[in-house]
């Protein structure tokens, strides 16, 4: 029987002679007082039983070297960008469109004969005239030109910072284009300055996808007994393909993955699923909630990163459908996959058991990847998200107590009602009650802190300065982070795995992905590079003090 009951996770005492509390003080010490007061609420020692309140999703102090990006990046770059058969037009000066062109590894494979539009970067490349006199005409013209060349099913438009300031009404331009061209055209007011990080962009993207795509196509999808959507999975390094393959082996059909490797048609018909499973809670929980309210699709959190987590997630899905055949099939698949994985895991675990990782990334990866490291006996001594909210740290039970600040108020909360015709509860109240009575949780995410060790350092929106202090003091064996930190960390002699782009490797999801990751961590931790730093002649050099003593003698 599947259960979500947590297990004991242990405690961190001192590392390299420095306790978590002392390291925290060290990080805060060097900061100007106002900055220190703010950071003190974002750097905490963990308590898995009663996670302390963390000041997540608050503004980054200006001048702090942060990992964070902007709202546009979260909307166009993360959530919508991966849809590969619609056109994405960035309305703004050239940079924003340019930087979001193929830099995030959301891989996509087009069906035979169809083009992959992700190879095309489109922008209105606004010039000074458009800033002064308005850019709506240019946008309308750009949409027309794009349609004439590409004949897409849909066009999506994104506002950048100056567009919001000069007041271009992209939504009315989109409405007119929709009428004129007879295809779906919609816009996102995702100006970079909205919100405090990418996270605001995720929310705006969820709203737009829900309003403009979800539920458009009621043509029955292929008949299958177990139809699900995987939400919050972006196919970085082919992860979505790995998850898809695994689920199909078990007899579970994925209607749509939001939004890795997905097509427009898959999104518009995915409201016919029986279940939504959520990978990245931060970026897509809004969608899961809205789809449940409108269509009656239940959701729960899964994690296909890590062998144990993957097995657990599969069992939870099987339990949800409560079908003997499916449960047996899932157990067979897990057994077969584990049989292939175990020897690799055992071999690599023997080499690296007890080594330490620290993870600072994303809105779920800093949590998910702890499971992969745990698979090979490594402990996560410190972790934090780049743009998550309190619920991602402390669990969704804190949602009612989260204060809505000025930045969050800017982001529209869609009011959603049950669809009068299409709302259909997927489980009878009795079946649901039975599952819940047995420890099954719906619509929940317990957050990262409940699964981290007691007194592990939890650092939200880590700054470069704090990362340096962490490395100097606790000397972790590996850091998981992003491109901006990678070479800082590696210059300090510590291997750094990019957990946004996977350093162009992967997939790391599901069982095959886990094997790839174990091998990659093994490669990084066994690398000889760091041992060659000192040249032989420097090693041969006498320390100055010894040389001086010899000279004196």
Partner 1 sequence: MLDVTTATVSDRKALRINPAKTCQPIGAMYAALGIHSCMPHSHGSQGCCSYHRSHLTRHFKEPVAATTSSFTEGTSVFGGMANLQQALVNIFSIYDPEVVAVHTTCLSEVIGDDIPTIIKKSREEGKIPDGKIVIHANTPSFVGSNVTGFSNMCTGIVSYLAEKSGLSNGSINIFPGWLDPSDMRELKRLADALTVPFTLCPDTSDVLDLPQTGVYEMYPKGGTPVASIKGMGDAIATLALGEFTAYPSAQKLLDMHAVPFEKLDAPIGLTNTDNYIDALRRLGDVEVPAWIDAERGRLLDVISDIGQYFHQVPVAIFGDPDMVVGLTRFAIELGLYPKYIFTGATGRAFETRIKELLGDKYPDTVVRHGADLFELHERIKGEPVKLIFGNTYGKYIARAEDIPLVRFGFPILDRVGHRMFPVVGYRGAMHLVEKISDALLNHRDRTCAEEWFELVQ
Question: Which of 195, 260, 384, 480 touches partner 1 by CB under 8 A?
Answer: 195
Q: Any contact of residue 247 with partner 1 (CB under 8 A)?
A: no
Question: Which residues in 426-445 contact partner 1 (CB under 8 A)?
Answer: none
Q: Which of 84, 138, 202, 365 is catalytic?
A: 202
Show the 3-state SS of 387-454.
Answer: CCCHHHHHCHHHHHHCCCCHHHHCCCCCCCCCCCCCCCCCCCHHHHHHHHHCCCCCCCCCCCHHHCCE
Question: Which residues in 263-292 contact partner 1 (CB under 8 A)?
Answer: none
Question: Which of 486, 510, 512, 518 touches partner 1 by CB under 8 A?
Answer: 486
Sign of the torsion angle spanned by Cα atoms 200, 201, 204, 206: negative
Residue 104 annotated among the catalytic residues of the structure: yes
The region of 136-144, 213-221, 227-235, 520-528 touching partner 1 under the rule CB under 8 A is: 136-144
Task: Give the total of residues touching partner 1 (CB under 8 A).
Answer: 86
Q: Any contact of residue 55 with partner 1 (CB under 8 A)?
A: no
First to last CA, the chain: 78
CA-wise closest residue to 495 among 385, 362, 378: 378
Residue 70 annotated among the catalytic residues of the structure: yes
Question: Which residues in 526-545 contact partner 1 (CB under 8 A)?
Answer: 529-530, 533
Nearer to partner 1, 77 or 215 (CB): 77
Question: Which residues in 283-342 contact partner 1 (CB under 8 A)?
Answer: none
Q: Which residues contact 547 (CB under 8 A, 6 or more apart)?
A: none
Q: Any contact of residue 145 with partner 1 (CB under 8 A)?
A: yes
Q: Any contact of residue 483 with partner 1 (CB under 8 A)?
A: yes
Q: Which residues on adjacent β-strands are paired with residue 358?
A: 382, 479
The region of 58-66, 245-253, 255-263, 293-301 touching partner 1 under the rule CB under 8 A is: 58-66
Cα gap 211→516, rounded to integer Å? 38
Cα gap 117→87, rounded to integer Å? 6
| Strand 184-188 versus strand 457-459 pairing type | unpaired
Q: What are the C-alpha distances in Å from 145 to residues 17, 83, 211?
A: 64, 20, 25
- The angle subtended at Cα 201 by Cα 197 and Cα 204, nearest 5°, is 145
CA-wise closest residue to 364 among 419, 409, 406, 306: 306
Question: Which of 308, 331, 407, 419 touches partner 1 by CB under 8 A?
Answer: 407
Cα gap 20→77, rounded to integer Å? 35
Question: Which residues in 59-78 contact partner 1 (CB under 8 A)?
Answer: 59-73
Nearer to partner 1, 178 or 484 (CB): 484
Nearer to partner 1, 530 or 549 (CB): 530
Nearer to partner 1, 145 or 325 (CB): 145
Q: What is the nearest approach in angstroms of partner 1 to the Cβ of residue 124?
A: 6
Question: Which of 130, 203, 352, 365 touches partner 1 by CB under 8 A?
Answer: 130
Nearer to partner 1, 46 or 498 (CB): 498
Question: Which of 18, 28, 55, 94 touches partner 1 by CB under 8 A?
Answer: 94
Q: Which of 84, 91, 104, 282 is catalytic?
A: 104
Written as six digits, the tokens of 18 are 């420095």
The region of 21-29, 114-122, 202-210, 517-525 touching partner 1 under the rule CB under 8 A is: 114-122
Question: Which of 142, 305, 376, 378 touches partner 1 by CB under 8 A?
Answer: 142
Assess contact for 80 and 88: CB atoms under 8 A. Answer: yes
Q: Any contact of residue 125 with partner 1 (CB under 8 A)?
A: yes
Q: Any contact of residue 384 with partner 1 (CB under 8 A)?
A: no
Q: Which of 24, 56, 70, 426 is catalytic?
A: 70
Nearer to partner 1, 240 or 411 (CB): 411
Question: Which residues in 29-48 contact partner 1 (CB under 8 A)?
Answer: 30-32, 34-35
Q: Any contact of residue 119 with partner 1 (CB under 8 A)?
A: yes
Q: What are the C-alpha distances in Å from 537 to residues 533, 540, 541, 545, 547?
A: 12, 5, 6, 17, 15
Nearer to partner 1, 429 or 535 (CB): 535
Q: What is the nearest approach in angstroms of partner 1 to the Cβ of residue 260?
A: 20
Cα gap 35→230, rounded to integer Å? 39
The region of 127-135, 258-266, 277-285, 396-404 touching partner 1 under the rule CB under 8 A is: 127-135
Nearer to partner 1, 379 or 460 (CB): 460
Question: Which residues in 439-478 contact partner 1 (CB under 8 A)?
Answer: 464-465, 468
Nearer to partner 1, 431 or 529 (CB): 529
Q: Which of 73, 96, 146, 456 is catalytic?
A: 73
Contact mark string toward partner 1, 151..190, x via CB under 8 A: ---------xxx-xxx------------------------
Nearer to partner 1, 385 or 440 (CB): 385
Show the 3-state SS of 300-357.
Answer: EECCCECHHHHHHHHHHHHHHHCCHHHHHHHHHHHHHHHHHHHHHHHHHHHHHCCCEE
Written as six digits, the tokens of 46 are 């963990």
Q: Any contact of residue 197 with partner 1 (CB under 8 A)?
A: yes
Assess contact for 160 and 23: CB atoms under 8 A. Answer: no
Assess contact for 448 and 383: CB atoms under 8 A. Answer: yes
Cα gap 207→422, rounded to integer Å? 19
- The angle subtended at Cα 364 by Cα 360 and Cα 369, nearest 5°, is 65
How many of the other CB atoms lie within 10 Å of CB of 338?
A: 15
- Supply the residues annotated as catalytic: 70, 73, 104, 202
């Amino acid at each position: 029987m599947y259960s979500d009951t947590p297990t004991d996770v242990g405690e961190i005492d001192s590392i390299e002679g420095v306790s978590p509390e002392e390291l925290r003080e060290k990080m805060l010490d060097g900061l100007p007082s106002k900055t220190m007061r703010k950071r003190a609420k974002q750097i905490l020692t963990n308590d898995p039983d009663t996670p302390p309140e963390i000041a997540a999703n608050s503004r980054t102090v200006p001048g702090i070297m942060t990992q964070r990006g902007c709202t546009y990046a979260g909307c166009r770059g993360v959530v919508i960008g991966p849809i590969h058969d619609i056109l994405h037009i960035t309305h703004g000066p050239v940079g924003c469109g340019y930087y979001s062109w193929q830099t995030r590894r959301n891989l996509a494979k087009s069906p035979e004969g169809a083009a992959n539009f992700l190879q095309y970067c489109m922008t209105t490349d606004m010039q000074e005239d458009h800033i002064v006199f308005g850019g709506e005409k240019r946008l309308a013209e750009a949409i027309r030109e794009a349609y004439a060349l590409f004949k897409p099913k849909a066009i999506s438009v994104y506002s950048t910072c100056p567009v919001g300031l000069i007041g271009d009404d992209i939504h009315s331009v989109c409405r007119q284009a929709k009428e004129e061209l007879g295809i779906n055209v919609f816009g996102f007011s995702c100006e970079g300055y909205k919100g405090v990080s990418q996270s605001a962009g995720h929310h705006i993207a969820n709203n737009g996808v829900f309003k403009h795509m979800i539920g458009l196509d009621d043509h029955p999808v292929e008949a299958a007994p177990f139809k699900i959507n995987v939400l919050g999975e972006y196919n970085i390094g082919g992860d979505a393909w790995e998850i898809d393959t695994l689920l199909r082996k078990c007899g579970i059909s994925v209607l749509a993955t939001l939004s890795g490797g997905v097509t427009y048609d898959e999104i518009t018909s995915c409201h016919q699923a029986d279940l939504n499973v959520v990978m990245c809670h931060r970026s897509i929980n809004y969608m899961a909630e809205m789809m449940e309210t409108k269509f009656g699709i239940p959701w729960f959190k899964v994690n296909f990163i890590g062998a144990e987590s993957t097995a657990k997630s599969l069992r939870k899905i099987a339990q949800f459908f409560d079908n003997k055949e499916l449960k047996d099939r899932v157990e067979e698949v897990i057994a077969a996959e584990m049989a292939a994985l175990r020897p690799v895991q055992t071999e690599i675990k023997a080499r690296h058991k007890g080594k330490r990782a620290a993870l600072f990334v994303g809105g779920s990866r800093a949590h998910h990847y702890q499971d992969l490291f745990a698979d090979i006996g490594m402990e996560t001594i410190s972790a934090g998200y780049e743009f998550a909210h309190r619920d991602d740290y402390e669990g969704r039970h804190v949602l009612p107590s989260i204060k809505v600040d000025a930045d969050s108020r800017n982001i529209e909360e869609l009011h959603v009602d049950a669809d009068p015709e299409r709302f259909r509860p997927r489980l009878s109240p009795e079946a649901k009650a039975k599952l819940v009575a047995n420890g099954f949780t719906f619509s929940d995410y317990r957050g990262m802190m409940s699964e981290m060790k007691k007194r592990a350092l939890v650092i939200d929106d880590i700054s470069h300065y704090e990362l340096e202090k962490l490395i100097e003091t606790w000397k972790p064996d590996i850091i998981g982070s992003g491109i901006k930190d990678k070479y800082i960390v590696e210059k300090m002699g510590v291997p750094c795995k990019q957990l946004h782009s996977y350093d162009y490797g992967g997939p790391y999801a599901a069982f095959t992905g886990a094997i790839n990751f174990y091998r990659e961590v093994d490669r990084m931790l066994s690398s000889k590079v760091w041992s060659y730093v000192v040249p032989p002649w420097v090693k041969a050099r006498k320390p100055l003090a010894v040389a001086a003593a010899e000279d004196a003698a």
